[in-house]
């Protein structure tokens, strides 16, 4: 992502964020909780990109879910300006399509979709790798 501007980040409720992945790694979630301390639960700005007039997370799904679980009222988001230049948007669109097919429409939908590291790799990372190869991005 590009350098952050000095403008204050936009904030949105975690429940309003739309995912672009199907699962969260239990190991990563534990790490996020280990790093988050204090009453403010600072999760850092979460990158979003607009697909079909809807803003979707492009990264930070675990932090977004942690914010949701801790009852955070709002999280900071920033537009992922470099996404189109650095990644195949077709792969993101495919991931979003998978989310829609499986009913993962909001961060809260990760409830029951937190996986052990080996299962996360098998069910999510490997699936993404196969899609990237098929789309010519791998």
Mean pLDDT, 10 residues at a time, over the chain (138 residues)? 59 92 97 72 86 93 94 92 90 96 97 97 96 81
Report yes or no: 68 and 107 within 8 Å, Cβ to Cβ: yes
For position 2, what pLDDT does the model report? 45
Predicted local confidence at residue 1, as pLDDT: 45
User: Could you tell me which residues come within 8 angstroms of residue 133 by beta carbon, excluding any fewer than 6 positions away?
Assistant: none
Residue 106 tokens, joined: 């909001």
Distance CA 47, CA 63 (A): 11
Q: What is d(CA 86, CA 100) in angstroms, rounded to the nearest whole number?
A: 24
Domains of the chain (ranges, CATH numbers) = 10-135 (3.90.1530)
What's 22's DSSP letter?
Answer: S
pTM: 0.87
Quick one: pLDDT at residue 9?
Answer: 77
Q: Which of 21, 15, 23 is nearest to 113 (CA)?
A: 23
Alpha helices in 1-138 (DSSP H): 26-35, 61-69, 83-86, 89-102, 117-120, 126-135
């Amino acid at each position: 992502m590009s350098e952050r501007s000095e403008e204050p980040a936009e904030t949105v409720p975690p429940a309003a964020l739309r995912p672009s992945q199907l699962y969260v790694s239990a190991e990563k979630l534990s790490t996020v909780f280990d790093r988050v301390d204090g009453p403010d639960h600072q999760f850092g700005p979460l990158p979003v990109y607009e697909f079909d007039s809807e803003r979707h997370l492009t990264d930070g799904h675990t932090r977004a879910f942690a914010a949701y679980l801790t009852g955070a009222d709002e999280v900071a988001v920033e537009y992922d300006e470099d996404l189109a230049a650095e990644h195949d948007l077709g792969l993101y669109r495919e991931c979003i399509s998978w989310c829609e097919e499986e009913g993962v429409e909001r961060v809260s939908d990760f409830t029951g979709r937190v996986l052990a590291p080996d299962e996360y790799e098998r069910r999510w990372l490997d699936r993404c790798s196969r899609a990237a190869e098929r789309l010519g991005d791998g």
